Structure formats: structure tokens, C-alpha cells
Amino acid sequence: MAPIVERQLQLPGSGILYDASRLRKPAQELFTREYWASRGSHVEVAGGRASVSFIRTEEASWVLRHYRRGGLIAKLLDDQYLWLGAGRTRSFVEWRLLAELRNRELPVPAPVAARYVRSGLVYRADLITEELPPSKTLANLMAELDAQAWQAVGKTVARFHAQGVHHADLNAHNILLGESGAVYVLDFDRGRIRARGTWEEQVLARLKRSLEKIARQRTEARFSDREWGWLMEGYAG
């Protein structure tokens, strides 16, 4: 994996954190779909409440995500967060966590740039990462996975836990399976590195609930104690 070179650009009411090896000229417009569309780049919108955009140019393929709240509070604040300093913004924290995970050679997307825009006591935030190689979510592949694939998922989760990486919302939508059995993990918002403990069981329980929910919602999805057993075999090594 290419080394990440952290640089920070301070602007009036805003800041950008970026990898100088992947981005030479950080600017505010890089975090808007309109800018990319005006340059003739392919822009594909996805994600809940259209919060994710895939930006594809001749030079690079990036994923742009605008941070939005979930749950009931989203109706009041939507994309606003309490300002506690640049280093504690959601985007900067996730960017730095991804950089550390990449340095540890864990299968996560490379962070490109992160931004916050402050307005008084609140801020809004965005994150750009490199698009991963062709892959599909675990949620969309449940109908066709064999024992080896489920074991690969378990082994990957175990790799993260072995290094104390706590994913705050590990579910079937942010685990991706690529070619040749590769497994990736996405969305480390609110994630952190901590001492190993009972939180690992909680992460696994959350993942299992996610898989069970999808199996209930999609008749073609295949998930039972057998598939979970395969996953846990991989997790146990």
C-alpha cells in the first residue's frame, strides 16, 4: 500500500486534511458534485439520503461522502454536528483512522481528503476516499456465498479485532467481497482503536442481527446457523 502523507490546509471557517501523495491541490470545490459534473466527470449518486457520490475521472476513482445523521435527531439537525475543534470533527477523525488502518495493511479504502465547514457552534463535514476494486456488499451476495467465502469474512473481522479496531456499525452493507476472495470493510465513522474486550462480541452480535434482518426481508438471501458457523470458523482461525 502506498504510504499516506498527511497535510492540513486551514481556510476561513473551514479546514481540509489530505494525503499529499494522492492530492496536490486541495480545494473546497472538490467536495461538491457540481464541480465534478461541470468538469465532465462521471458522478453516480448512492447511499442513504443520497449522501454518497462516486466520482470517476481519467485520473482517479473516488467516493465522496457527506456526513448526515441517522435516527430521530436527523429530523432536527440532519448534517450538523457540535463543534469541538478541528481534530474532533467526524471527517478528520475518520480520515486519520483510515490512514492508520492502511498503515497497518488492513483492507480499507485509502483516505484522500476530509473537510469541515464551521458555522458558529456547529459544522458540516465531507470525506473523500479512493474507490475500492470491483466488489459487492455482503448483503447483496448472501444468496450465493459458499463456506470459504463466509470464512473469509470471519477471518477479516478477526484481523481488525486482533489490532483493537472497533467498528461502530459493522453490518452486511459495509462488508464488501471482491475478486479472488478479497474482503474489505467500509464506513469507519465513530470507529476507533482500543484495548480488546467484550466490545468484540457486541460487534459480532450486531453483524449477525444485520444478516438475520436481510434474510427476513429478502427471500433469496441465504443465512442460517450454518452460514454463521462458517463465519465464526473463519473468525476463530
Confirm whether 169 is a catalytic residue.
Answer: yes
CA atoms of 43 and 34, how far apart (whole Å): 9
Which of the residues 79, 126, 146, 169 is marked catalytic? 169
pLDDT over threshold 60, residue 103: yes
pLDDT digit string (tens) for 114-129? 999 999 999 999 999 9
pLDDT over threshold 80, residue 228: yes
67 close to 79: Cβ distance less than 8 angstroms: yes
Q: Is 67 exposed, middle or buried (0-12, 13-18, 19+ CB in 10 A)?
A: buried
Q: What is the pLDDT of residue 75?
A: 59
Quote the pTM value: 0.94
pLDDT over threshold 90, residue 167: yes
Ranges 74-83, 175-184, 210-219: which has the least confidence: 74-83
- Mean pLDDT throughout 85-102? 98
Total H helices, total E strands in the chain: 7, 13
pLDDT band (50, 70, 90) for residue 3:
confident
pLDDT over threshold 60, residue 94: yes
pLDDT digit string (tens) for 37-64? 898 888 888 765 558 999 998 888 999 9
Closest to 188 in 3D by CA, of 84, 80, 100, 115: 100
Q: What is the CATH number of domain 135-236?
A: 1.10.510.10
- What crossing angle do the helices spanning 199-217 and 225-236 adopt, rounded to 10°? 150
